Structure 1
Amino acid sequence: MCADVDVPTAHAPRGAAPTLLRTLAAVDVRLFEAVADRHWPGGDRVLPRLSRAANHGVLWFAVAGGLAACGTPGARRAAAHGVASLALASATINTFAKRSVRRPRPLLDAVPLVRRLKRQPVTTSFPSGHAASAAAFATGVVLESPRWGVAVVPLAGAVALSRIYTGVHYPSDVLVGAALGAGAAFAVRGGMAVRRSARRPAAGREEDG
């Protein structure tokens, strides 16, 4: 009888993790469907185009070129940090993250036809590479120039949102991708700080000699 078995409390909730994952997945689907059901003025025209413009980082390279053309040292540093962060985020997503979690793309049944991308992605869904690139570039810009970041962050947010709006990603794909992208920008910042500190002693030795 079950009443005669002494089960330690620490081992009782063995099904807790799968249950939690199922719950989170269900919430993810409900949020995805809520976005699909909501009509945002101008969204059907603007967001799909914005999503396509960010393919392969083209949008961010264009923004970086605009920043560099401004000619100020702060804008050039922001552009360089943003591009380096984007490169690291893209490499991480495409070589490790997407291969580790092979999540299928969302079903498009709930997404209005006008929002759907003409060419659907063929890679796995988790995490969002577009969101990672957008967050990486925007965070890199902010870390170098908060003033330019004010202009770039809303654009990055719109790109991330467009991936849910067009039906190619679940919200969690976008959130995790954005977190990885921001992390890449901070990693690049740390690497730049190490290189700067390494140059100072070398410069000092040359002066002493």
Structure 2
Amino acid sequence: MSDRQEKLSTLDLVHDLATLDQALYETVTVTRTPTLDTALRRLSAAADHSKLSFAVAGLLALRGGRPRRAAALGVAAIGVASASANLLGKRLVRRPRPHRAVDSPFPHRHVPMPDSASFPSGHTASAVAFAAAVGPTLPVAAVPLGLLACAVGYSRVHTGVHYPGDVVAGALLGTGAAALVLATVGRQDD
């Protein structure tokens, strides 16, 4: 395969992924889910500025020992993920937020549209980073926090502020942030 064919193939793949991303977003926006709308809007708002994760970290820290260590690791991972998403990712990619039609069938599910770029999802990056950093130290919390992080990510699509690809990228970034924190702390413990 020539360099030109490789570039075209890569561009075709990127175009196909963007098309799929848009189609998934649009499918969510026109799907009637009245029972979920309020709950996901509230969850999305509770995850603003990692408030939900910081609340969990505070509760864990009160217990001392391993839970306190897990909380500290989780908070450190939030810091790395948030800085990576908001100071690097959003400024480098500059993807516009999803368009909300004036005649949206479910405008009551929306949260306020942030001014920042769409890619990657900082909410998802931080929620996943917290869950992925806490889990290895406190295994009993791994599944509940992982499910919560998934719900936060989906809530950002459901409430109309992110494309699914933004959420996937945020999850990958959050996982990487947690791995970096855990590896750094692991080296210091040796």
Q: What range is the shorter-chain TM-score in?
A: over 0.9
User: 2:55, 2:105 → 1: CA distance?
Assistant: 30
- In the alignment, structure 1 residue 126 sits paired with structure 2 residue 119: yes
Amino acid at match of 1:81: L
Q: Percent identity?
A: 44
Q: Is the 8 A contact 1:111 1:166 kept in 2?
A: no
Looking at CA atoms only, which structure, 1 or 2, has the larger radius of gyration? 1
Gaps of 5+ in 2: none
Partner of 2:57: 64
After TM superposition, the structure 1 = structure 2 runs for residues 36-115 of structure 1, keeping only pairs within 5 Å, are 36-40=29-33, 42-69=35-62, 71-109=63-101, 110=104, 112-115=106-109
Superposition TM-score, scaled by structure 2 size: 0.93
The answer as to 2:181 corresponding to 1:175 is no
Given that 1:75 and 1:148 are in contact with CA atoms closer than 8 Å, whether structure 2 keeps it comes out as no
Whole-angstrom CA distance in 1 between matches of 2:18 and 2:35 = 29
**C-alpha deviation, 1:111, in angstroms:** 6.1
Q: Aligned residues, how many?
A: 187
Amino acid at match of 1:100: L
Q: 1:38 Cα deviation (Å)?
A: 2.2
Cα distance change of structure 1 residues 21 and 57 upon mapping to structure 2, 3 Å threshold: same
Aligned match of 2:158 in 165, 168, 179? Answer: 165
One-letter identity of the residue aligned with 1:73: G
Other-structure match for 1:3: none
